[in-house]
Amino acid sequence: MLAAALPAACSQEGPEREAVEAQSSPTAGDAGTTAAEPTVDPAAEEPADADGYSSAYTAFDLDVCRVTGEASEGASVDYACPGRGDVPIFVHLGDGRLDIDAGVDGEEFMTIGAFNELGERLEWRMKDGEPFAVIFRYRDVAPQSTGRTVIGVEKIGRQGAPGCRVAQIAGDTPGANPIAREIADTRANDFRCGVDEMRVVGNAR
């Protein structure tokens, strides 16, 4: 999928912005602090909790991805990237912005409005050892950026049922990483792509 439809996809005015009660409002000492990416071995896997949910981590490097499509002298580039096991990652570059799909390549280009790049670590949320969502991070690299990051939660797609963006969480939201995991665990499996609205927490567009 070449990112030809970027202007329409970037705006994404449809999804309703939601508040996360007390969690989404920075408290004293939290304001302006961006949640760090989990400091674990990129290949690590955490033990499952009592409900069978767990995380595994893989490194992400666009330089090791394979170019599968290119247009307009590099303005739009499609990549196929290593994921986890038999679940690949697909990345689409358009106008200095990146979209990520997991499992199967999707048609919708979903990103944040600012020029961006992707973090070096992917978190795979799993239920009983089976991955169902990927948590990743955008870095806002616009000239006026003050280091903003946005955490994305992407539903893993299957053949005939591409995944989609379940949530975007501002990196400076208190408890941003646990919030991303909770949203993945409670929403991703039953999330109806093209029907349900993406959840937005904080300044995450």
Give the bridge partners for 165, in sequence order: 154
- Decide which of 43 and 173 is more confident: 173
Q: Are 135 and 150 in contact (CB under 8 A)?
A: no
Calculate the CA 76 to chain-centre distance.
19
Percentage of the chain lying above the pLDDT 90 cut: 72
Q: What mean pLDDT is reported for the chain?
A: 85
pLDDT of residue 41: 56
Q: State both tokens at 131.
A: 């991955």
Q: Are 184 and 149 in contact (CB under 8 A)?
A: no
- Tell whether the model's pLDDT for residue 44 goes beyond 80: no
How do residues 50-89 score in pLDDT, each as one tens digit?
789 999 999 999 999 999 999 877 689 999 999 999 999 9
Average pLDDT value for residue range 150-175:
98
The confidence band for 34, taking pLDDT boundaries of 50, 70 and 90, is low
Task: Give the integer Cα–Cα distance in Å for 133 and 151.
Answer: 13
Pairing of strands 53-59, 121-127: antiparallel
Cβ contacts of 136-141, under 8 Å, gap ≥ 24:
136/60, 136/100, 137/37, 137/171, 138/98, 138/111, 138/112, 140/112, 140/114, 140/115, 140/116, 141/114, 141/115, 141/116, 141/117
pLDDT of residue 145: 93
Q: Which residues contact 4 (CB under 8 A, 6 or more apart)?
A: 71, 76, 94
Q: Phi and psi (nearest 5°) for 183?
A: -65, -45
Task: Give the integer Cα–Cα distance in Å for 184 and 205.
Answer: 18
How do residues 97-123 score in pLDDT, each as one tens digit?
999 999 999 989 999 999 999 999 999
- Tell whether the model's pLDDT for residue 11 goes beyond 90: no
Domain boundaries, the chain: 41-201
Give the bridge partners for 140, in sequence order: 116
Place of tokens 């169902």: 132
